[in-house]
Structure 1
Amino acid sequence: MSAGTTIATTDDGVRLHVETAGEGTPIVFVHEFGGDHRSWEAQMRHFSRRHRVVTYAARGYPPSEVPSDVAKYSQARATADIIAVMDHCGIDKAHIVGLSMGGFATVHFGLTYPDRALSLTVAGAGYGAEKEFETYFRGISEEVARQFEAMGAEAFSKIYGMAASRIPFLVKDPRGHAEFVEMLGQHSAEGSANTMRGVQMHRPSLYDLEDGLRKMAVPTLIISGDEDDHCLQPALFLKRVIPASGVLVLPKTGHTINLEEPDLFNRAVADFIAQVEAGRWLPRDPRSAPSEIMKTS
């Protein structure tokens, strides 16, 4: 399939902008709150050499439709929208790769639609998951939504783009960070506010999903930057509870992993997918149980 754009319609009638390229085993890329479909360009170009790649703008992110009703936005809707895109593209199963908000949707995809997932890559997922910060996270999310409405996306992007976990990107790649902020400023203020209120504020903590995660058999790669503080512990939690999972921590890296370190990110995901397709990304061997420190008999 050649590069192209198309429109998928969700089960509740929201129209989503979809981009595709390449041929081969499908990979679907799901973007973060601060990004959009353009955030995956380095991955679309790299992986389309061997795979059919798909990305899309989430509801609330132009050129996708921006519903004015906040009830149209939720974690369940965000997860179901991945299925809508896959169905529209005629894809039965795919490797799902998500960052941050997209990483949460990827986790929920594995829990809800395990038969449609070849693998899961969960990158930079953790904000609001830590139980001790739940109340703070919901409060600051509402403030972010209000600021998008009050200031507009272009003005507020310059503040939001300077969050602590974005600074490593600024330090190592000022041009890339400036482009990220510029694209953020082109978002819909209404869509961003509704996404923050409908999806971010009300999604369950990853820790509340433990029972389901322990039963989830989908091969999973978890990636975090070591300077993305509020995603590190959730990443280790996911590693402990998902049976066929591995965790990768990138040094001197913040939240925007695939943009900060595209080469490292692409190589890690490519190697992971190759192992999955070879049948070699397996659940942890019970002989390596963490309760045993040294063997004496």
Structure 2
Amino acid sequence: MTISTDAATRLCETVRMLRHLAIHLPDPICLSFLAQGSDVAPDQACSSVRATERAVSTAFARIGVKAVQYVHDGEAQLSSFEMFISKKICQALEFAYDHFDDVDSAKDFGRLVRHFDFSGAVPEVETLHLITRDNVALSVHASTERDRPAIVLALPCGMPFDLCRDWFNALSERFFVVTWETRGLFGSCTSFDQLSVDTDAQVGDLINVMNHYGLDSAHLMGICGGAVIALSAAATHTDRVNSLSLWHGDYNLGDDSLRTAHQQNFEWLMESAAVDRNEASDLQALFLDQATLATIPDSIAHAALYPYVNEELFYRYARLNDALNKTELKSRLEQITVPTLVVAGDCDETTHLGGSKHIAESISDALLHVERNGSHLAFFESTQVSKQTAFRFLESTVGSAHLA
């Protein structure tokens, strides 16, 4: 049997997509090969299944996973993260475990996996590690057309770049776009306890990124918790900001009627886990239960689950988000004078429409745009309607002549 190239490639692509989760799980990662629908689970003693195990382990080894253990007829033993990874791998293989049966198939897959780029890097995006003034290594991403008007994208706090890659790509069609991943949560960081984690430190990261690329000024676009970073930068660095857009922002305005149940629960969770690592460990254990993460949309789970995947990441994530939640916004809003677009969704159960309305009313030159059927998930799926909203505002503030 010849190797199914599509299945082999899909396996590698899926492992690459899952890299943020897999490399931070404790060894060994336990996986199961699942049946589709009412089909009978694959026979663990079957030579095809054994060959598939070897192929999957080989692909995971390329991203640095040291050990994979296969659990047959024991899916209930898997953590929520391991079950999610198992499902994605099985979907990539179309729930068929006979792609790697013979010697030629194994050799072909070996060649593919040796040459496959598991890093997630793409030619159109420059990725580098930037050392900030307080000696923090930031993972920074930039598009290639530096002569275009600049956008600095403030990602949701703690989320990998992959979550917003579609938006980054769309904006890059007309702009020079730069962004970074949250301090202390990506790359090497052995001294987190010495790091500043407050909002001003995260604003400082934004300015460090601008300085690295020689950007005297730029449009700032903030998403969810990144909206607090972007608006804080616009308030404290008024000469560096041309315009501002805030998308589905997570704002704590001291009024629970302006926060969804999700926001209130998240605020409690972050404040509790930020107390110390023991508390964070106890709370992170809740996320190992498969039922706990059943509500995470499948299309974004590979990125959205990242900061929950182990105790240390969760503690760091809590410290950073707790600081954002405690940011005093009123005085900052009064200092923003640039044209501002505030976007919220009328179906968003993650962040409250009322909070965005309050933000828009508190900024002197702000426009509120409420997206019909808009939500966090719709935004991250990068709908065409949302892109059109973004470009209309950017064209009105940057000027259509720059976008020709």
- Could you tell me whether the CA contact under 8 Å between 1:228 and 1:255 is conserved in 2? yes
* 1:182-193 matched pairs, under 5 angstroms: 183=306, 189-193=311-315
* Cα displacement (A) at 1:87: 0.8
Give the Cα–Cα distance (whole angstroms) in 2 for the partners of residues 154 and 226 of structure 1: 30
Q: Secondary structure at the match of 1:72?
A: coil
- Could you tell me whether the CA contact under 8 Å between 2:185 and 2:317 is conserved in 1? no
- Could you tell me whether the CA contact under 8 Å between 1:16 and 1:58 is conserved in 2? yes
Offset from partner CA, 1:186-221 (integer Å, 9 cap, x none): 6x6434422422443453243x33xx4234211111
- For the aligned residue pairs, the C-alpha RMSD in angstroms reads 3.2
Match of 1:119 in 2: 243
1:242–1:7 Cα change, 3 Å: same
- From 187, 202, 222, the equivalent of 1:98 is 222
Match of 2:78 in 1: none
Give the Cα–Cα distance (whole angstroms) in 2 for the partners of residues 274 and 67 of structure 1: 43
Give the Cα–Cα distance (whole angstroms) in 1 for the partners of residues 356 and 380 of structure 2: 19
Whose radius of gyration is greater, 1 or 2? 2
- Could you tell me whether the CA contact under 8 Å between 2:158 and 2:185 is conserved in 1? no
Aligned residue type for 2:127: T
* Cα displacement (A) at 1:269: 1.2
* Cα displacement (A) at 1:224: 1.3
1:149 aligns with 2:281: yes
* Cα displacement (A) at 1:106: 0.5
* Cα displacement (A) at 1:126: 3.1
Q: Secondary structure at the match of 1:109?
A: helix
Offset from partner CA, 1:8-27 (integer Å, 9 cap, x none): 22221101011111321111
1:53 aligns with 2:173: no
Larger relative contact order, structure 1 or 2 (CA cutoff 8 Å, min sep 6): 1
Aligned residue type for 2:344: S
- From 1, 6, 17, the equivalent of 2:139 is 17
Give the Cα–Cα distance (whole angstroms) in 2 for the partners of residues 76 and 150 of structure 1: 29
Match of 1:293 in 2: none
1:270 aligns with 2:394: no
Give the Cα–Cα distance (whole angstroms) in 2 for the partners of residues 157 and 43 of structure 1: 31
Q: Which deviates the most, 236-245 or 141-150?
A: 141-150
Q: Please, which runs of 5 or more residues in structure 2 have no aligned partner? A: 1-122
Give the Cα–Cα distance (whole angstroms) in 2 for the partners of residues 158 and 247 of structure 1: 38
1:265–1:157 Cα change, 3 Å: farther
- Could you tell me whether the CA contact under 8 Å between 2:152 and 2:218 is conserved in 1? yes
* 1:1-297 matched pairs, under 5 angstroms: 3-23=125-145, 24-33=148-157, 35-63=159-187, 65=189, 67-69=191-193, 72-132=196-256, 138-145=267-274, 149-150=281-282, 155=287, 170=297, 174=298, 176-181=299-304, 183=306, 189-201=311-323, 203-206=326-329, 208-209=330-331, 212-229=332-349, 230-256=351-377, 258-278=379-399
Q: Which deviates the most, 19-28 or 60-69?
A: 60-69
Aligned residue type for 1:55: T
- Could you tell me whether the CA contact under 8 Å between 2:344 and 2:353 is conserved in 1? yes
Give the Cα–Cα distance (whole angstroms) in 1 for the partners of residues 190 and 219 of structure 2: 27
1:191–1:92 Cα change, 3 Å: farther
* Cα displacement (A) at 1:182: 5.3
Give the Cα–Cα distance (whole angstroms) in 2 for the partners of residues 241 and 75 of structure 1: 20
Give the Cα–Cα distance (whole angstroms) in 2 for the partners of residues 249 and 203 of structure 1: 26
Give the Cα–Cα distance (whole angstroms) in 1 for the partners of residues 383 and 393 of structure 2: 15
- Could you tell me whether the CA contact under 8 Å between 1:120 and 1:221 is conserved in 2? yes
* Cα displacement (A) at 1:142: 2.6
- Could you tell me whether the CA contact under 8 Å between 1:97 and 1:121 is conserved in 2? yes
For this pair of structures, how many residues does the alignment match? 266
Give the Cα–Cα distance (whole angstroms) in 1 for the partners of residues 190 and 164 of structure 2: 21
* Cα displacement (A) at 1:120: 1.0
1:40–1:64 Cα change, 3 Å: farther
Identity %: 22
Offset from partner CA, 1:10-67 (integer Å, 9 cap, x none): 2211010111113211111111135222222112211212211112111022136464
